[in-house]
Structure 1
Amino acid sequence: RMQLCCESVNGSCIRSSWSNSIRVSMYIFMICIILATVVGNLTVIISISHFKQLHTPTNFLILSMATVDFLLGFLIMPCSMVRSVEHCWYFGELFCKIHTSTDIMLSTASIFHLSFISIDRYYAVCDPLRYKSKINTFVILVMIFISWMVPAAFAFGMIFLDLNLRGAEDIYNHIHCAGGCFVIFSETSGVVASIVSFYIPGFVMLYIYRKIYSIAKRQARSIDAISQKKMRFEMKHHISFCRERKAAKTLGIIMGVFLICWSPFFFFTATNPFMNYAIPPILIDALVWFGYLNSTFNPIVYAFFYMWFRRALKMILFGKVFQQDSSRTHLFLE
């Protein structure tokens, strides 16, 4: 017998017909993703907040991005998990709109942060002498403000004003059912949402990282050509340059992970309305989770590439952060 989400309501959505073993394994898998996302990003937040040596402009951007990823894991993923497994929404229609808006906002905020981080890295690697004057705390705070406010205005405006449904009212009325929570985009809103949330900031990042890569290669060649006599004088510059280049490389990998995780979802969001919504909802749902994985991977990339993050992690795990003056610990050589 078909199970409904709301047994007593006419026009109820149909519950998923998966067996209990599939349901349980899906819950276990998704809970693992949620825990990894929350714990990993919380570690980044604690590390950068606690250790004074990590209080740099770039790290404040990374701290803000980790907060976005943490909130996605803590607030959004648990409700999405129930919806994905049960195919039902048990939290009411208003909360459905709030959840959808916040989901779009945080996913968009994540890529806005990455775009600004790439701009920060560009000045650090390509114009190191003027970096501190160009990228100061005020500039970083403006970047963080834009990264939160533009996605918030865009996401909440679109969902609460039903702008995503303009031109797709018929299809929405056809598939709308009680006890469901899904977002439908019209042809126009699907393209606009994908361009604002993904394609514009994505192209900005790709363009900037291409420039960083070519300039870093050129600088590396010129450093190799330095004669032995100048070696001692150049050593300090060489070490700081290597660190900046490694940071750019790490953030390049983070950007690559982001593009791999989110591009399938945004591609189908833009094209699905033009294909008469032929893509099965279960595939769209799977791609949303593939996108969520990006928030899980970011701290893992830090742990893999940053010595300071591994040292901070060790101190947090062993409770050393509660010791007096632990915030002054040097996690890397200046």
Structure 2
Amino acid sequence: MEIRGVQSVEYNVAQYCFPSNNLSCLREVRTRSETAIMYIFFSALSGCTVFLNLLVIISISHFKQLHTPTNLLILSLAVADFVVGLIVMPIESIRMIENCWYFGVIFCSLFPFIVYIVVSASLGNLVFISIDRFIAVNDPLRYNSKVTMRKTMFCIFLSWFCSIVYAVILLYDHLCNPVVHSSCVGQCTVVSDYAVAMTDLIVTFLSPCMAMISLYVRIFHTARKQIKLITAAASNVCELHSKAMVAKKSEHKAAKTLGVVVLMYLICWIPYYICILTMSTISTSSLTLNIFSWFMYINSCINPVIYAFFYPWFKTSAQHIVSLKILDTSSSFKNLFPENS
């Protein structure tokens, strides 16, 4: 009975992030079992995000058949999601569990900068993916001339470059003085006023999302019309139109798959921005904001799962990667679409 009493007293004693520093912040007091469960959960989520996105990155980079403009955009999106799983998730989980910042002042200034870059780049990639699918479905005959690898690489560069510039503008004060809003040692907080938050909401969320939704509404409207026309004409020239129909269905399936990616992105992001709308001052120390931020981070793990369900090539390439068959010098030329051969 005495041992139990001592344990309960220990959990109620205030603990500090840096016990040797008199200016240290208070550390969150949890039981060992609670801490262990939280670390296991967040570690598993982070590991899963890294592993799945690494499969996408290796697949598209290794297999020659996957070197297409659309897959190049998916690769860029996977890189952003990979960084979220490798850097953002582990650090955010430690900060959320311990309520302490153990990574120093320099990384305190850089970490929000990294988060803003990968988040903005993800959204930029999704916008370009929407444009790519819109051209593929609405103007298929001129798609190859309009959408080239060089143009796609420029769009990816533009997306990342604009994300970096935007992050510098938005976080300039924090980059110069990262501890200005810290009340004690062991705290890393970014504070934005309502006007900045609304600007961010419009620039990085509402405008791109409205554009994506508009594009996908037009894509699916066009897809319906095209399928009806192909079905009506198929009875006259069966073989020719059956091939055309297979090609069209492939394009429509790709548009549908990437439409699901965009939809899940919106579902994961909307709670975060609803939370921002209810706050007069936006601070990363807010528990509610941190919880909704995790919805955005989890989205980085969902995207590869969507590819696994909808793309047969992802399953095939993942099997070759896991089984180390890609070590074969000729594996990069493997046909991942045997049904189209």
TM-score normalised to structure 1 length: 0.92
- Counterparts of 2:190 and 2:283 in 1: how far apart (Å)? 15
Q: Where does residue 59 of structure 1 map in the other structure?
A: 71
Structure 1 residue runs of 5 or longer lacking an equivalent are none
Question: In 2, distance between residues paired with 1:71 and 1:87?
Answer: 22
Query: Counterpart of 2:154 in structure 1: which amino acid?
Result: V
1:36 aligned residue: 48
Q: Which has the larger radius of gyration?
A: 2
CA distance in 2, matches of 1:87, 1:39: 27
The change in CA–CA distance for 1:238 and 1:83 in structure 2 (over 3 A counts) is same
Give 1:176 shift.
3.2
Question: What does residue 244 of structure 1 align with?
Answer: 251
Q: Does 1:283 align with 2:295?
A: no
Aligned to 2:188: 181
1:197: how far off?
A: 2.1
Which residue of structure 2 lines up, in the alignment, with residue 83 of structure 1? Answer: 95
What is the rounded CA distance, in whole Å, between the counterparts of 1:182 and 1:219 in structure 2? 52
Work out the CA distance in 2 between the residues paired with 1:5 and 1:227.
71
1:94 is aligned to: 106
1:209 corresponds to which of 210, 216, 221: 216
Q: Compared with structure 1, are the counterparts of its residues 164 and 33 closer, same or farther at alpha carbon in structure 2 (3 Å cutoff)?
A: farther
Out of 191, 204, 222, the position equivalent to 1:197 is: 204
Partner of 1:25: 37
Identity %: 38
1:71 to 2:73 alignment? no
Q: Which residue, 328, 336, 341 being the options, matches 1:323? A: 328
Q: Which deviates the most, 3-12 or 208-217?
A: 3-12
Instruction: Give the C-alpha shift of residue 183 in structure 1.
Output: 1.9
Query: Secondary structure, in 3 states, of the residue corresponding to 2:171?
Result: helix
> Given the alignment of the two structures, is residue 313 of structure 1 paired with residue 325 of structure 2, yes or no?
no
Of 113, 116, 130, 2:142 maps to: 130
Q: Deviation of residue 5 (structure 1)?
A: 1.8
Change beyond 3 A, Cα 1:155–1:277: closer
Instruction: State the shift of 1:319 in Å.
Output: 1.2
Question: Partners in 1 of 2:286 and 2:107 — Cα distance?
Answer: 20
- In structure 2, runs of 5+ residues without a counterpart are 1-12
Map of 2:167 onto structure 1: 155
State the superposition RMSD in angstroms. 2.1
Offset at residue 270 of structure 1 (A): 4.1
C-alpha separation in 2, matches of 1:237 and 1:136: 22
Letter in 2 for 1:291: M
How many correspondences in the alignment? 326
TM-superposed deviation, 1:104: 1.2
Deviation at 1:279, TM superposition (A): 11
1:118 aligns with 2:130: yes
Aligned with 2:235 (options 228, 231, 245)? 228
Q: Please say if residues 185 and 269 of structure 1, whose CA atoms lie closer than 8 Å, have aligned partners that are also in contact.
A: no
TM-score, normalised by the number of residues in structure 2: 0.90
After TM superposition, list the pairs within 5 Å mapping 1:159-170 onto structure 2.
159-162=171-174
CA contact under 8 A between 1:97 and 1:160: conserved in structure 2? no
